[in-house]
Amino acid sequence: MNLIDMSTEGWTQEEVIEFRKLLNQQIKNARKESRHDACMLCGKKGGFCNSHTIPQFCLENIAWNGTLNSFNTLIDSELLANDSGVNNAGTFHIICKPCDGKAFQDYEKEAAFETRPTEKALNQIALKTALRDIYKHETELAMFEACKQMVKDKSPALAFFAQIMFNAQINAKKRDIQECYEVYNVSKSCLTNPKSWIRLVSYDKLDYTSPIAFQGMIALVTGVNGELINNNFNHKSNYKLEYLHIAIFPLKESTAVILFMDSHNTRYAHFENYIANITQEQRLKIINRIIFLYTEDYYLSKQLDSETINWLQETAKLIQDLATTDPKKSVKNAVKDYDLRRDICIPNLFSKEYAIKKATVDGSRTNQEE
Three-class secondary structure of residue 54 per DSSP = coil
Closest Cα to residue 29, out of 142, 107, 183, 175?
A: 142
Strands ordered across the beta sheet of 83-85 = 83-85, 67-70, 299-300, 212-218, 244-250, 255-262, 198-206
Q: What's the rounded Cα separation, in Å, for the pair 199 and 61?
A: 28
Give residue 235's pLDDT.
83
Output the pLDDT for position 111: 93
Give per-residue pLDDT as tens, 225-243.
999 999 988 888 899 999 9
Residues forming a β-bridge with 70: 299
pTM value is: 0.88
> For residues 162 and 276, which has the higher predicted lDDT (pLDDT)?
276
Phi, psi of 202, rounded to the nearest 5 degrees = -160, 150
pLDDT in the model for residue 364: 44
Q: 196 burial class (0-12, 13-18, 19+ CB within 10 angstroms)?
A: exposed
Q: What is the pLDDT of residue 79?
A: 46
Q: Mean pLDDT across the stretch 324-333?
A: 63
39 pLDDT more than 90: yes
Nearest-angstrom CA–CA distance, 2 and 5:
10
Domain ranges of the chain: 22-54+90-196, 197-370
Q: 321 falls in which pLDDT band (50, 70, 90)? A: very low
Q: Tell me the pLDDT tens digit for each residue of 284-296.
A: 999 999 999 899 8
What are the residues facing 299 on neighbouring strands? 70, 213
Residue 30, pLDDT > 60, answer yes
Per-residue confidence at 34, pLDDT binned at 50, 70, 90? Answer: confident
Contacts of 354 (CB under 8 A, 6+ apart): 210, 211, 304, 308, 347, 348
359 forms beta bridges with: 365
Per-residue confidence band for 76, with pLDDT thresholds at 50, 70 and 90: low
Q: Which of 6-20, 114-128, 317-331 has the highest mean pLDDT?
A: 114-128
CA distance 126 to 344: 30
